[in-house]
Chain A
Amino acid sequence: MRAPLRRAGLVLSLMSVAGCERRTVQVYDVPKPPSSQTELMAAGLVAPGPAPAAAVKWTTPANWQEQPLSEMRQGSFRASGPDGANADISVVSFPGTAGGLASNLNRWRGQVELPPASDEELRQATQPVQAGPVEGILVDYASPPQSAKPSRILGAVLETPDRTWFVKMTGPPAFVETQKETFAQFVQSFQFSQVSSEGEPGAPGRPKSSNDQ
């Protein structure tokens, strides 16, 4: 009688270990993550093309034209107005805090001939912006009225734990004003990795089920 009981106990404990999705501390080896593009290119299955998707995705506004990327830029666009005015939009990112928020904002201020501001002044002139779960800031710096070459910068800074992302639009003040809403929407469309955001089913940024109609 003892042996069958012990056997049953063993089977049950094995079931409980194997079951419940093995939720214990585990140490295991896996092959390095496959780099699909390189391997496929080596096999001649695909032509060299764009690099694998970055850790960030966004929705490009309809009236912006994509521009060639440089070494620094992860995104580059041009917005054109009816009277030939245009603005340049860039997306760059750096590891860590990229030298600190204040120094970067003051660098932007310098580009539109504004004097450096204190941390408190800088903080007061920002607006919060939400890109999925990431909360960032929006700034709007325009050249002083007496400027010979007036310019305006709409900027956004988004900070993920390992990188800081800078989105910047530079152009003539009047034209930049018309793009303010579009720029904010562009920044809000940023999705870092797979963080799910709140919203209606089928809203951008949320995976959709094949059962949704």
Chain B
Amino acid sequence: MIRIKTLFRPLASLKLTIICLACAMVLVFVGTLDQVHIGIYEAQNRYFKSFALFLPIPGTRFAVPWFPGGYVVGGVLLLNLIAAHLARFKFSWKKLGIVVLHAGLILMLVGQLITSIFQVESQMRLDEGERKNFSESPYFDELAITDKSQPDRDRIISIPDSDLRKGRTIQVPGTDFKVVVNDFYPNSALVNPGRLPSPAYPHLKLGPMAVAVQIPKTYKQDERNVATAAVTLLDKDQPAGSWSVSSGFPQPVNFQVGGKPFQIALQPQRYYQPFSLQLLKFRHDRYAGTDIAKNFSSQVRLVDPARKEDRELSIYMNHPLRYAGLTFYQAGYDNNDRTTILQVVQNPGRLVPYISCGLLVAGLLLQFGMHLFRFARKMQGASASAS
């Protein structure tokens, strides 16, 4: 037992706690400032969902770590907290509150780790009357090759945009297909060919009147990168076709391989579900006589053949739909109030913050309550002996 405590003592140092908290403050400060330039999503990834902050070496492709990222700071803090308990732990009823309090803190850190690793956020955009069984990523794209030959189902080959790099050949698992990436623009502008500075200016031709030219990636929160790729599909190492596709035009291009109909598109990454939602009616209520929004609500129909569900329900502020491990929030609207945008969040650690906050409150109440109780008893004793 003593040996374990000695082992944990350096890790249990209070100085380490202070250093970690100071680092966390620096991360939050710098991350919040940088959010102005790179947007909230990229700031989260760079500062909090990372092991280190990197500084690029000018003129090279390399970068050096210069500060611990959120995972390292949070991880060390978690170990520090656990080690402190193991090294100094001496259970007594008097300290029950502190133990519960720390358990709450540990759970909060673990919960944040679970959220940061497992949470998937996407959006479902529905026009009135439209029904969908998938949501789409607001950040990522995919190159989707769809086999349309079956009457009742489609087979989808999904290649994430992170795999699309110029000159790369991607073997599609379980098939004879290979995808050769001839070129890839992570962000592009679609322009008329006549607007090119010269015919030789690097571009990808999307149609007789539309070409894509590469532009720097955008990190603005209200903008999305328009990726464009030029790809060649190989079937048994024989070219089956070459296309330029752009997420600016997610309409698929039709083609055939071996007599079978296929489609190819570069589109927002899709997350399919075994159930579907249909927008029956979107409401945008305003306060009478003004344009100030009072309420946004989506009347939807949920159909899940496997669970024999078919019901109508309403999604509005503070009243999301929770179904099959997903939460659907009312997030936006478009198209003269005829289109709803639902934020779809999958987070297995959704309940952990509630439990950990409950533990924190219970721990504080217990600890201070016991102090108060002891103090009151002492005062009572003192006044009794004085009288």
Which A residues are closer than 8 A to B by beta carbons?
15-16, 18-21, 23-37, 39-40, 46, 52-53, 55, 57, 59, 97, 100-101, 123, 128, 133-137, 157-162, 164, 192-196, 198, 201, 206-210, 212-213
Q: How far is the CB of B157 from chain A (nearest CB, A)?
A: 5
Tell me the nearest residue of chain A to B335, going by C-beta: A57
State which of B5-13, B58-66, B77-85, B166-174 sits at the interface with chain A: B166-174
For this complex, 17 residue pairs linking A to B, each with C-beta atoms less than 8 Å apart, are: A21-B120, A21-B137, A25-B158, A25-B170, A27-B174, A28-B155, A28-B158, A28-B272, A29-B153, A30-B134, A97-B207, A159-B209, A161-B251, A192-B251, A193-B249, A207-B125, A210-B331
Contact across chains for A161 and B140 when beta carbons are under 8 A apart: no
Knowing A25-B158, A25-B160, A194-B250 are in contact, say whether A213-B207 is a contact too (CB < 8 A).
no
Overall SS of chain B's interface: strand
Centre residue among A23, A28, A101, A136 by max chain B CB count within 10 A? A23
Expressed in whole angstroms, the Cα–Cα distance for A28 and B133 within the complex equals 14
Beyond known contacts A26-B157, A161-B244: 17 more, CB 8 A cutoff: A23-B160, A25-B160, A31-B154, A34-B276, A52-B129, A53-B127, A101-B208, A161-B210, A162-B207, A194-B268, A196-B223, A198-B223, A207-B125, A207-B333, A207-B334, A208-B334, A210-B330
Q: How far is the CB of B68 from chain A (nearest CB, A)?
A: 19
Instruction: List A contacts of B195 (CB < 8 A).
Output: 128, 135
Knowing A28-B158, A52-B130 are in contact, say whether A195-B248 is a contact too (CB < 8 A).
yes
Which B residues are closer than 8 A to A by beta carbons?
117-118, 120, 125, 127, 129-134, 137, 140, 151-160, 162-163, 170, 172-175, 189-192, 194-195, 206-210, 222-224, 226, 244-246, 248-251, 253, 268-269, 272, 276, 278, 292-293, 296, 317, 330-336, 339, 341
7 closest Cβ contacts across the A-B interface? A36-B131, A159-B209, A19-B117, A135-B192, A207-B334, A23-B160, A161-B207
Instruction: List A contacts of B163 (CB < 8 A).
Output: 23-25
Contact across chains for B250 and A193 when beta carbons are under 8 A apart: yes
Contact across chains for B125 and A209 when beta carbons are under 8 A apart: no
Knowing A135-B190, A207-B332 are in contact, say whether A25-B159 is a contact too (CB < 8 A).
yes
Expressed in whole angstroms, the Cα–Cα distance for A131 and B155 within the complex equals 34
